[in-house]
């Protein structure tokens, strides 16, 4: 029964990640429900997310083909920052991680709830959006990727916000680049923690299978799905998760 639940949750987590980001706010509590510790749920979450991010990027391939090549260089700080975050996570004792999880979840949910305000500039035409130098975007991506390698929840939302300060023309190109960056970080983390005792494959693999289908379909139909409805749903789940996290951990 738990396998079926995880498969379904994985599907919706993958779909939500490809559309608006924040799918980990579904995957993380589902892994906790399966009996994993916060540290194990966080590490196993990397295994869950990367297949969906990859399939979402494939679903965004038409948009990515139109993306100027210089923006693919932003994947470099993604990888570097992600690896730094992974080493930091590996060095964190389980008890210490448990104590900071409620605050990390609160930060993620806050970012998600205020996503429309943070990303208000994204939907403007490229020539009307505020822009910063690519070097500063590089630095921002590096810092966010360190967080992504350490915990990951909400990192995609912040990356999308950063991409909005470039001259990338289409929001769907930004989403495609965000999905590609998410794949790079979470796939690297899956390899990094592949032999860790906290990587629980029997729970992570069913969710990963579900996220592949969800990520691809979400990306293909992202133009037709209401991001507002998705945000309301995930924000509600996130608030519940914050309450549970502060109560339990």
Per-position DSSP letters for 84-112, written without gaps between them: HHHHHHHTS-HHHHHHHHHHHHHHHHHHH
Check residues 224 and 182 and name the one with the higher pLDDT.
182
Question: What is the token pair recorded at 202?
Answer: 């029997």
Residues shown for the chain: 249
Question: What is the token pair recorded at 205?
Answer: 């693999």
State what percent of residues in the chain have pLDDT above 90. Answer: 33
pLDDT tens digits, residue range 151-210?
977 788 888 888 888 888 888 888 889 889 989 999 999 999 999 999 999 999 999 998
- Point out the least confidently predicted range of 16-30, 66-80, 90-104: 16-30
pLDDT tens digits, residue range 93-150?
999 998 998 898 888 888 777 767 766 766 666 666 677 788 899 999 999 999 999 9
Rounded to whole angstroms, how far apart are CA atoms 46 and 79?
A: 14
pLDDT of residue 161: 83
Q: What is the pTM of this model?
A: 0.84
Average confidence score pLDDT of the chain: 84
């Amino acid at each position: 029964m738990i396998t079926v639940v995880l498969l379904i949750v994985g599907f919706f987590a993958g779909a939500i990640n490809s559309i608006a980001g924040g799918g980990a706010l579904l995957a993380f509590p589902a892994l906790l429900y399966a009996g994993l510790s916060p540290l194990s749920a966080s590490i196993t979450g990397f295994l869950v997310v990367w297949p969906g991010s990859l399939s979402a990027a494939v679903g965004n391939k038409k948009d990515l083909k139109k993306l100027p090549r210089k923006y693919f260089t932003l994947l470099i700080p993604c990888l570097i920052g992600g690896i730094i975050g992974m080493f930091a996570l590996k060095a964190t004792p389980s008890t210490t991680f448990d104590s900071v999880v409620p605050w990390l979840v609160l930060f993620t949910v806050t970012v998600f709830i205020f996503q429309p305000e943070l990303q208000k500039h994204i939907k403007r035409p490229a020539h009307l959006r505020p822009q910063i130098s690519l070097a500063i975007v590089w630095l921002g991506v590096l810092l966010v990727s360190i967080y992504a390698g350490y915990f990951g929840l909400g990192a995609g939302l912040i990356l999308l916000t950063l991409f909005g300060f470039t001259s990338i023309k289409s929001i769907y190109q930004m989403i495609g680049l965000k999905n590609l960056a998410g794949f790079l970080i979470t796939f690297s983390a899956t390899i990094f923690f592949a032999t860790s005792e906290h990587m629980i494959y029997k729970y992570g693999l069913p969710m990963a299978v579900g996220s592949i289908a969800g990520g691809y379909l979400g990306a293909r139909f992202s133009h037709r799905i209401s991001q507002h409805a998705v945000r309301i749903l995930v924000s509600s789940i996130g608030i519940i998760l914050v309450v549970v996290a502060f109560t339990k951990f």
